[in-house]
Homo-oligomer: A and B are copies of this chain.
Amino acid sequence: MFHNKFMKEAISYVDINSSDAPIGAIIVDDENKIISRARNNTEHDPSGHAEVLAIRQAVDTLGVKKLYNCSIYITLEPCPMCATLISYTRLKNLYYGARDLKFGAVESNVKIFESNLSLFKPNIYSGILENECLELLKNHFANKRL
């Protein structure tokens, strides 16, 4: 199943030894070719969430401003910053793994795509390899408490 395959790619791109939250993102075109891979990297850029970095890279690689025929796979539900950027760039499909009860902006907290903002809404698929995605986060925060 393609969804699981690409979510595995996003998971495998996470750097579990980084101090950044273990979140990965992959952008794929409509021929199932991977266009970009990114992981959270906020060390020198506070906007460096995996989704933002993957989108910047995809736009740069394809030389376009909108990603109409592309899909994004993210291990965690996007925050309002990332959800809004996904909307601006017209990503067709949004797949994510775990819910983010604190900052999630799709279904968990602010529902950015349900708001009356004039925002484009992608097709949304959640819970893809949810347990594996959650496991990454649990291990990260458990290690932080050691």
Using CB atoms and an 8 Å cutoff, list the residues of chain A in contact with chain B: 42, 44-47, 52, 55-56, 59-60, 65, 79-85, 88-89, 102-103, 105, 109-110, 112, 115-119
Are A65 and B52 in contact, CB atoms less than 8 angstroms apart?
A: no
CB < 8 Å: which of B46, B60, B110 contacts A110?
B110
Are A84 and B79 in contact, CB atoms less than 8 angstroms apart?
A: yes
How many copies of this protein are present in the complex?
2
**Interfacial chain B residues near A42, Cβ < 8 Å:** 65
A103 and B80 CA atoms in complex are apart in Å by 12
Kindly report which residue of chain B lies nearest to residue A82, judged by CB atoms: B81
CB < 8 Å: which of B46, B109, B119 contacts A115?
B109
Q: What are 21 A-B interface contacts by the 8 Å CB criterion?
A: A42-B65, A46-B55, A46-B59, A46-B88, A46-B89, A47-B47, A47-B52, A47-B56, A47-B85, A79-B84, A80-B81, A80-B83, A80-B117, A81-B82, A81-B84, A81-B85, A102-B117, A103-B118, A105-B117, A109-B115, A110-B117
Q: Which 8 A-B pairs have the closest CB atoms?
A: A81-B84, A80-B84, A80-B80, A81-B81, A110-B115, A46-B89, A102-B118, A109-B117
**A3 to chain B: closest CB distance in Å?**
25
